[in-house]
Amino acid sequence: MVEARTPDWVKSAIFYQIFPDRFARSRSVPKPTNLERWDYPPTAHGFKGGDLVGVVERLDYLQSLGITALYFCPIFQSTANHRYHTHDFYQVDPILGGNRAFASLLDEAHRRGMRVVLDGVFNHASRGFYQFNHLLENGQASPYLDWFHVNGWPLHAYEGHRPPNYAAWWNIHALPKLNTHNPDVREFLLNVGQHWVEQGIDGWRLDVPNEIDDDEFWREFRRRVKGVNPDAYIVGEIWGDAHRWLHGDQFDAVMNYPITRACLGFFARETLDNNAALGTGYGHIERLDGAGFAATISNVLSRYPDEIAHAQLNLLGSHDTPRFATLARRDGRAYRLALLFLMTIPGAPCIYYGDEIGLEGGRDPDCRRGFPWQDDYHAGPQAHWDEDLLEYARRATSLRSTFPIFSRGNFAVLQTTDDLVVYARCWQDQIAVVALNAGKDFVRLEVPVSGFAADGSIFQSVWGTDDARVDNGALHGVAVPPRSGVALIGGV
């Protein structure tokens, strides 16, 4: 087994996920005329015209939010607004501003110390992908016949009463699956992975990588990517147990959806709308008490070596899920608690664009609404920001970036009740204690810290309470208001 080594920068990064068509658009990027109104509900096929120059113009905002890394949904040329139907893996979509806009984004992000991670869709392509289009035009005479898994002729490439007679992702006609057993296909995809790292990106988020059921492909992908930049981040979209890919020779980490589900089950348990979760990757979300939440989190964090656990991408939602605000029926306190939790546990926290201002959204495509910028180019009369939530998010990211213990320390549960979870982070000669109260009552705690901190130690409040002192093996007088959290740091 290879010893896991993950990029050090990821452990202290704060990510922000951007759906490019919906985040921001710039007046400087020419647009087609038939665009959806920015502030109207998104549709499955409509484009709103967001672009990468628009992202550049909002980097000040992202920096003020404490963001240090950007994760983009696909940006390559495509006829889908989500761009998971790739036409050309080497060309940034012209509606996004093309390769020149992306080069500008990379330069400006890196100048600010921000990393950039792209979405790699290597399992399938599209009907417009050159090699598949060649197949459509030339049938069995195409030299690219063995780039795909064809089961009959002529190709049933469009929706109707006939399913596709070739392998396609979820049997969707528009998404022909690439034949990665073909050495030419493998080399093509590996070169794409290498090329964009050579252009300066800081990593790949891999779309449905489990569907390329070939560990050696991913081992070679890692070798190619890390050969260009050993600090490039490789994170897979795996929704459950990921041991197979996390032995140090394939991915650095995965999207930590088990953490997401646990946060919804505990912090939003009183308001959780499970009907909104059905039909999504979440399925039914179990409501949790403090002990159940702590056990779930401890189990998830202990599944993998610390080197990997500290590089996991921890999130509260994504382009594939209903938004947290909607699942919690607009319970902003639940999101605040979950965000504070995310900022104080091992793994890189990731904010899905707009969650920090209370943006709502149900199942895809509703979870991909336009960001309601308060200007005449983007916003309609319904534009609204939860300014208090935004300020809370800024304080939470600042807490993590100010105190390295929250991104570097070990994790241990200290205490639980039905409504409460208290945990420690230990690093070097420090210990942090975090208490999160999901209940409706004010609590005053005596937190057991014997073995962590000596009697007489003073713990300084860094979030929402008074300083506290250790006596008789317990931290006394820790006051936690209802639906709130506190954090303190002391010496070992």
Average pLDDT over residues 167-178: 97
What tens digit of pLDDT does each residue of 233-261 get?
A: 999 999 999 999 999 999 999 999 999 99
User: Taking a C-beta distance cutoff of 8 angstroms, is the pair 102, 95 a contact?
Assistant: no
Please indicate, yes or no, whether the overall pTM of this predicted structure exceeds 0.75: yes
Residue given tokens 């050969």 in the structure block? 227
State the pLDDT at residue 487. Answer: 98
Q: Which of 207, 252, 320, 360 is catalytic?
A: 207
What tens digit of pLDDT does each residue of 62-72 get?
A: 999 999 999 99
Average pLDDT over residues 152-170: 93
Average pLDDT over residues 459-464: 96
User: Taking a C-beta distance cutoff of 8 angstroms, is the pair 165, 150 a contact?
Assistant: yes
Q: Which are the contacts of 188, defined by CB distance < 8 A and separation ≥ 6?
A: none
State the pLDDT at residue 3. Answer: 85
Average pLDDT over residues 25-30: 96
Backbone dihedral region for residue 421 (phi beyond 0: left; psi -120 to 50: alpha; all else: beta):
beta
Q: Which of 36, 51, 93, 237 is catalytic?
A: 237
State the pLDDT at residue 121. Answer: 98
What tens digit of pLDDT does each residue of 254-286 get?
A: 999 999 999 999 999 999 999 999 999 999 999
What tens digit of pLDDT does each residue of 423-451 get?
A: 999 999 999 999 999 999 999 999 999 88
Active site residue 237: yes
CA distance 166 to 155: 8
What tens digit of pLDDT does each residue of 174-224 get?
A: 999 999 999 999 999 999 999 999 999 999 999 999 999 999 999 999 999
State the pLDDT at residue 201. Answer: 98
What tens digit of pLDDT does each residue of 310-333 get?
A: 999 999 999 999 999 999 999 999
CA distance 186 to 147: 10
State the pLDDT at residue 377. Answer: 75
3-state secondary structure the chain: CCCCCCCHHHHCCCEEEECHHHHCCCCCCCCCCCCCCCCCCCCCCCCCCCCHHHHHCCHHHHHHCCCCEEEECCCEEECCCCCCCEEEEEEECHHHCHHHHHHHHHHHHHHCCCEEEEEECCCECCCCCHHHHHHHHHHHHCCCHHHECECCCCCCCCCCCCCCCECEHHHCCCCEEECCCCHHHHHHHHHHHHHHHHCCCCEEEECCHHHCCCHHHHHHHHHHHHHHCCCCEEEECCCCCCHHHCCCCCCCEEECHHHHHHHHHHHCCCCCCHHHHCCCCCCCCCCCCHHHHHHHHHHHHHCCCHHHHCCCEEECCCCCCCCHHHHCCCCHHHHHHHHHHHCCCCCEEEEECCHHHCCCCCCCCHHHCCCCCCCCCCCCCCCCCCHHHHHHHHHHHHHHHHCCHHHHCEEEEEEECCCEEEEEEEECCEEEEEEEECCCCCEEEEEECCCCCCCCCEEEEEECCCCEEEECCEEEEEEECCCEEEEEEEEC
